[in-house]
Amino acid sequence: MTTGSLLAADLVIAVLAAAGFLGGGAASAARRRPLALGLAVFALLATLARAVTITALARAGWWFAAEKVLIAGPLSLAAVAVAGPRLPRAPGDIRSVAVALLFAGYAQSSALLVTLLHGYPASAGVGLLALAGVLAATALSWLALGARPSRTVSRVGLGMAAAALVTGTGLVVAPAAAPGVPHDHGYGDARTIGEPTRRFTLTAATATVRAGGRDVAAWAFNAQVPGPELTATVGDVIEVTLRNRDIARGVTLHWHGYDVPNSQDGVPGVTQSAVRPGQEFVYRFRADQVGTYWYHTHSASDVGVRMGLYGVLVVRQAPVTGVDVTVPVHTLAGVALPEPRTEPVEAGVPVRLRLVNTDSTTHRYALAGTPFRVAAIDGSDLRGPTPLVDTALLIPAGGRYDLVFTAPATPVALFVDGRAVHSTGPVSATTAAWPVLDPLTYGASSAAPWSRFDRRFTLVLDRGLDLHGLLPRYAHTVNGAADPDIPPQVVRLGEAVTFTIVNRSQTMHPWHLHGHHVLVLSRNGRPATGSPLWWDSFDVRPGDVWEVAFRADNPGVWANHCHNLAHAEAGMILHLMYS
Ligand code: C2O
Ligand code: CU
């Protein structure tokens, strides 16, 4: 069982245990004896089953189990201790066990709320709040049901609840807010880079574009979705003038995967202000990385990118020989882009397909009709890629794969999520059952560039209640906090840095660090054994633990976030800073 399914199973069992005890309590209060006993026994068994799931989660990593061991564990023990012994000798009046069962139900429910609303790291404050809830609810039930040991005991219960509430709230609220991220500090002066040799102008505006045979309202660069493909040769100095005609939420350009000087990174509120309607901003950087990249707005990025403010950036080593096409996949108003296209290619011609996933979720790609190699991922060439046949590729949000092959005499087709997107002729293939490439074991390894690390970070991804903004929200969190309260990762220039990313949530988080490429060290404890992978985007599945590393060689303040852009806007973004 994977850690992801273990997390899900544990959650389901916890819900069943809580519901069983609460239902049993209600049934006994209503004097429905068989039902009450049945539910209570069921809940006891579910509670025992959790001992197994929690132990397994703790073995997979303390991050997955901390609050379950420290808070749910004691509360479950108390639930079993109070409810268990009363059942076999449930006296004539089943109503007398109602409060015990309800107590057990409250204990299970509040532990469940700790997991759902807070998660990792467990803290004494949260534990006390959970306890306060249980005691208060029990005392109130006691009073409401008019059961015997009432007054004094309920008063003591309520008193303890109040004390736990006050202490817990104090502990939870006390932690200081994260140090602020400095703005507009001017790291990396673009003017020193040299005279531009490639100039572009991108004008952002609302537009109506054709997609899937109908007119679709979009936000577009130069009235097209995707925006124009920007190309350069390595060594060029690229200059892009961004204009905003009428995008009220503002626009910027972020060069996804391109490790530009910080001042050119296009993150509003961090490296520049958003470009408002009528304004412009000029970006300039040297094209010193070869490969497939893309650009997109980072202002209101979720809606902005979804509406069409993105395009491809390709930097080549030499002029194109053979066929070289980019396939930026995107979902625009429910229409899958690009539209299917058929173009014959002469046999023997070298072909390079540059696959780009500009959506917020993973896509599945399959190339049918020819063996192929994955030449590069996220712009970095792979070492010793071997030919693949009938193998699917999962590309994370923001990720790019370059596939190369020699055109055969027979047709070839690229499928995205089972839909033929690009072909040289008719191909009928059922790609759904193909195995998926694991890049961590693909290609030839080479010695790691570091033998020791100067700094380590851990990012635990989850969901949780965020009360720090104007309105409470159910945020996507890192180490229990949401943007802007997540402490920045502070590094020194030149350091070798590693960070561990743990996903204890129920959703995929495609991770993306700006300004640096990370080297994948391991996933779920298994070291990467294939070609070195220098990535800027990678999918951290539920239950995954990734270890990645980078060299702190690009000073500035850099966003480090989930590239499911809705998650990023719902809190899952922190910053990497140089001291
Ligand atoms: Cu492509 Cu900060 O994102
Ligand atoms: Cu995410």
Tell me the whole-structure pTM to 2 decimals. Answer: 0.93
> What residues does the ion ligand 2 have nearby, CB within 5 Å?
509, 562, 564, 567
Tell me: pLDDT of 74 over 70: yes
Rounded distance from Cα 363 to ligand 1 centre (Å): 17
The pLDDT score that the predictor gives to residue 429 is 86
* Bond prior to 484 in cis (omega within 30° of 0): yes
| Residue 175 binned pLDDT confidence (cut-offs 50, 70, 90) | low
Instruction: For residue 321, count CB atoms less than 10 angstroms from its CB and return exposed for 0-12, middle for 13-18, buried for 19 or more.
Output: exposed
Q: Which ligand is nearest to the CA of 255?
A: 1
Q: Which residue shows structure tokens 């020989």? A: 321
Rounded distance from Cα 559 to ligand 1 centre (Å): 8
Mean pLDDT lowest for which of 110-124, 140-154, 456-470? Answer: 140-154
The pLDDT score that the predictor gives to residue 149 is 58
d(CA 29, CA 540): 46
- Is 547 strand, coil or helix? strand
| Alpha helices in 250-385, H assignment, sequence order | 301-307
Question: What backbone phi and psi angles, to 5 degrees, belong to 125?
Answer: -60, -45
Mean pLDDT lowest for which of 185-189, 293-297, 453-457? Answer: 185-189
* Bond prior to 261 in cis (omega within 30° of 0): no
Ligand 1: nearest atom to the Cα of 296:
1
C-alpha distances in angstroms, 415 versus 208, 392, 428, 431? 27, 9, 11, 8
Ligand 1: nearest atom to the Cα of 559:
2
Rounded distance from Cα 40 to ligand 1 centre (Å): 50
- CA-nearest of 338, 352, 351, 355 to 401 is 355
Q: Is 561 in the pocket of ligand 1 (CB under 6 A)?
A: yes
Tell me: pLDDT of 108 over 90: yes
Rounded distance from Cα 301 to ligand 2 centre (Å): 14
Mean pLDDT of the chain: 93
Q: What is the DSSP letter of 69?
A: I
504-515 mean pLDDT = 97
Q: Is 559 in the pocket of ligand 1 (CB under 6 A)?
A: yes
d(CA 411, CA 351): 13
Q: Is 97 in the pocket of ligand 1 (CB under 6 A)?
A: no
Q: What is the DSSP letter of 229?
A: P
CB atoms within 10 A of CB 201: 14
Q: Is 254 in the pocket of ligand 1 (CB under 6 A)?
A: yes
Tell me: pLDDT of 178 over 90: no
Quick one: tokens of 233?
């040769």
Q: What is the DSSP letter of 432?
A: T
CA angle 376, 381, 387 (to 5 degrees): 60
Query: Per-residue pLDDT tens for 353-375?
Result: 999 999 999 999 999 999 999 99
Query: Per-residue pLDDT tens for 426-462?
Result: 998 889 999 999 999 999 999 989 889 999 999 999 9
d(CA 257, CA 398): 9
- CA-nearest of 46, 17, 29, 217 to 104 is 17
Rounded distance from Cα 212 to ligand 1 centre (Å): 27
C-alpha distances in angstroms, 552 versus 274, 494, 515, 578? 27, 5, 10, 8
Q: Which ligand is nearest to the CA of 362?
A: 2
| Residue 189 binned pLDDT confidence (cut-offs 50, 70, 90) | low
d(CA 524, CA 550): 19
Q: Is 291 left (phi over 0), alpha (psi -120 to 50) or beta?
A: left
CA 423 to chain centre: 32
The pLDDT score that the predictor gives to residue 196 is 87
Quick one: tokens of 518?
């990370």
* Bond prior to 277 in cis (omega within 30° of 0): no
Nearest CA to ligand 1 atom 1: 256
Ligand 1: nearest atom to the Cα of 514:
2
- Residues sharing a CB contact under 8 Å with residue 186, sequence separation 6 or more, in sequence order: 263
| Alpha helices in 377-473, H assignment, sequence order | none
Rounded distance from Cα 256 to ligand 1 centre (Å): 6
Quick one: tokens of 193?
């880079």
- Residues sharing a CB contact under 8 Å with residue 353, sequence separation 6 or more, in sequence order: 325, 327, 367, 402, 403, 404, 414, 422
Rounded distance from Cα 270 to ligand 1 centre (Å): 13
Q: Is 514 in the pocket of ligand 1 (CB under 6 A)?
A: yes
C-alpha distances in angstroms, 440 versus 450, 513, 522? 18, 19, 8
The pLDDT score that the predictor gives to residue 543 is 97
Q: Is 296 in the pocket of ligand 1 (CB under 6 A)?
A: yes
